[in-house]
Structure 1
């Protein structure tokens, strides 16, 4: 089976380039096309079983989260394009297989090769590149499955999506009582402390709150406290989509179960995942333990607090979100950096004073005016070190100092922002009333 390797001639892309050119900078459209083509031509590997394996870029593994976000911009291009639709279906089917194989793993190999980030990890499964359990690894494929259906009306993938959702719900319910029910452990002897979990691999102790526990953040760094707020809200949104798909498939039991868990996660996050900031009032914390401790920060990776309108269906005008956004985009947030080249959010995962292009794109996508989106596009182009690619991170004063020369997720985020800026983005396809 072969899949499309170029979208240069796609009518929606051509229209997007035309509208972007009208903004006055021809690089906007050229970079959009380059980023979309790069993902198709270089990251996707057709598999003998008809699925598609998607590398994250310069690491030869498939991340459940990254592969979902790498596909998100193409949702806007699916209408009247069966070949592109079949590609996304193939990616989804691969993800469903991977979750069925090991729902606690975050990244997989194309074959049972035994390749791994660290061969000495507890998990010795030859299919698994890394078994860092992250709530978002399960949430993003469910989000993609629902958004694909909303964009196309196709239901080929729905049985697989609903079967996957049952597995995911079981894991999330187990991890609502992590201390008592979970058998998951992660220990890594080599590397920084952020690469392993304390307490004999169980993680920092947490109270039972109704939130679901996560060992690691979307950055693949260990959670300080296992109740990650944006991940829980993202999970609730993924369950909303699952409930809608299940209703469409007349699976009332699953629809009710998904809706019930979504409500539990939201209620628990509202109760335990918010704090009162002395200058901003009520806002979201990044992580909590249910024992009164909280981490106040944001991380450039999604799901993060800044990205809640994109991953959790929270309106950009929501007062709690707006207060959180003001915190996140200020020096009060320890991961926010301001330099001579740019300002924006970074991550403890990368060197200090480094800003992530993903976070710049998210800031533009969650802005309430076009001017801020155009500003974000301009910043992304001015900080690519002349490579025409979005990197993982760059130094706030010198974009020539960057991490990861090929990071497809960041390219996808540029594409999402560019399409959204000219009114051809994906959100109208699936977001209702937000």
Structure 2
């Protein structure tokens, strides 16, 4: 199967470029086309079974999370674009295969090659690049499946999505009682401490709260405390989509299961995942353990607290979100940096004082003002170190000090923000009620 390698002549992209050019800087539109085309031309690998394997950039593996975000900007281009629809459907089919094969893995090989981030990891599955269990790795494909349906009206993937959703719900139910029911372990003998789980690979102890446990964050760093709050809220939103799909399929049992678990996750977050901050009032914690410990920070990787309107269907005007946002975008957040080149959120996954373009894009996409969205887009353009690409992170005072020269997720986030700035992004697609 052949998939498109360029969107340069797509009518929505052409319209977006014209609107971006009208803002007075031709770099905006040029970058949009280059970033959309780069993902199509360089990261998509058609497979003999009709699926599509998507590399994350400069690593030859497919991440469930990254491949979802890499496809997300194209949802705004789906109308009358059958080839793009077929591509996203093929990516979903590959994601479904991967979850069915190993729902605890976060990244996979294109074939059973045995390649791995660390060959000495406990997981010896030749299909698995890495088995860092992350709640978001299961949530993101379900979000994509539902949003793809809404954007296109296509239903040919829904039965498979429902099957995968049952697997996911089973895992999330098990991990609500990680201490007693889970057999998952992760031990890595080499690398930083954030690459392995303490307590013989079980992670730090947690009490039952109703949230579902995660060994690792969306950054692939180990959780300090086992309940990652933004991931739980993202899982709840994914379950809302599952319920919608199940109702369409007249699968009452699945719909009821999804609704029930989504409610449990949200109730547990409100009961155990919020704290009272002396300067900001009630805010979401980043991680908790149900034993009285809470980690107050955010991470640039999504799901993040900053990204909740994008990944958890929480309104950008919600008071609890706004208070949390004020915390995240302040010096009180240990991963927020301000320098001479930019200010924004970084991650413990990268060096100190490094800001992530993903987080800058998220800040723009979740802003309630057009001026802030354009400011974020301009910052991304101004900090690309002359490469014409987004990077994983860059130093707050010097964009030429950056990590990862080719990071497709960050490129996709630029495209998503650029489309949003000119009111052609997915946010406007949903508000218009398009799709199924």
Q: TM-score range, shorter-chain basis?
A: over 0.9
| Equivalent residues in 2 for 1:140-219, closer than 5 Å | 140-219=140-219
1:227-242 equivalences under 5 Å are 227-242=227-242
SS in 2 for 1:275: strand
Specify the SS of the correspondent of 2:283.
strand
Residue aligning to 2:429 = 429
What's the counterpart of residue 266 of structure 1? 266
SS in 2 for 1:325: helix
Displacement, 1:279?
A: 1.1
* Shift, 1:430, TM fit: 3.5
Q: CA deviation at 1:429?
A: 3.0
Change (3 A) 1:74 1:55: same
Cα distance between partner residues in 1 of 2:242 and 2:431: 14
Partner of 1:31: 31
Residue 340 in structure 1 maps to residue 349 in structure 2: no
Match of 2:358 in 1: 358
- CA distance, structure 2, for counterparts of residue 81 and residue 309 of structure 1: 27
Q: Please, what is the CA RMSD of the aligned residues?
A: 0.8
Residue 246 of structure 1 pairs with residue 246 of structure 2: yes
Residues 14-413 of structure 1 correspond to what in structure 2 (within 5 A)? 14-413=14-413
Once the two structures are TM-superposed, the CA of residue 427 in structure 1 deviates from its matched residue by 1.9
In the TM superposition, residue 249 of structure 1 has moved relative to its aligned partner by 0.8
Asked if structure 2 preserves the Cα contact closer than 8 Å seen for 1:313 and 1:431, the reply is no
> Alpha-carbon deviation of 1:428?
3.1
Secondary structure in structure 2 of the residue aligned to 1:118: coil
Cα displacement (A) at 1:161: 0.4
Secondary structure of 2:163 counterpart:
helix
Helix, strand or coil at the partner of 1:53: strand
Question: Aligned partners of 1:429 and 1:372: how far apart in 2?
Answer: 21
Distance 2:197 2:432 in 1: 39
CA distance in 2, matches of 1:124, 1:431: 45
Give the Cα separation in 1 of the matches to 2:431 and 2:309: 10
Determine the C-alpha separation between the residues in 2 that align with 1:320 and 1:249.
Answer: 35
Structure 2 distance, partners of 1:88, 1:427, is 18
Shift of 1:153: 0.5
* CA positional deviation for 1:207: 0.2
Deviations 1:332-385 (A, max 9, x none): 000000000000000000001000000000000000011101100110011000
Cα shift readout 1:278-307 (whole Å, capped 9, x = no counterpart): 111100000000011000000000000000
Alpha carbons 1:147, 1:429 under 8 Å: kept: no
CA–CA separation in structure 1 for the residues paired with 2:242 and 2:404: 34
Ranges in structure 1 where 5+ consecutive residues have no aligned partner? none
Q: Secondary structure at the match of 1:344?
A: strand
- Cα displacement (A) at 1:431: 5.9
Equivalent-residue separation in structure 2 for 1:143 and 1:163 (angstroms) = 15
> What secondary structure sits across from 1:206 in the alignment?
coil
1:324 aligns to what SS in structure 2?
A: helix
| Inter-partner Cα distance in structure 2 for 1:378 and 1:428 | 21
2:10 matches 1:13: no
1-structure distance, mates of 2:280, 2:125? 47
CA contact (8 A) 1:274 1:285 kept: yes
Aligned counterpart, 1:2 = 2
- Residue 431 to residue 313, structure 1, CA distance change in 2 (3 Å): farther
Cα distance 1:432–1:272, how it changes in 2: closer, same or farther (>3 A)?
A: farther
Question: 8 Å contact 1:121–1:187 — kept in the other structure?
Answer: yes
Secondary structure of 1:210's aligned partner: coil
The answer (yes or no) to whether the contact 1:308–1:314 under 8 Å persists in 2 is: yes
Please give the per-residue CA displacement for 1:177-203, whole angstroms capped at 9, x wherever unaligned: 000000000000000000000000000
Distance 2:160 2:8 in 1: 31
Q: Distance in 1 between matches of 2:319 and 2:158?
A: 35
Structure 1 residue 432: Cα displacement = 8.8
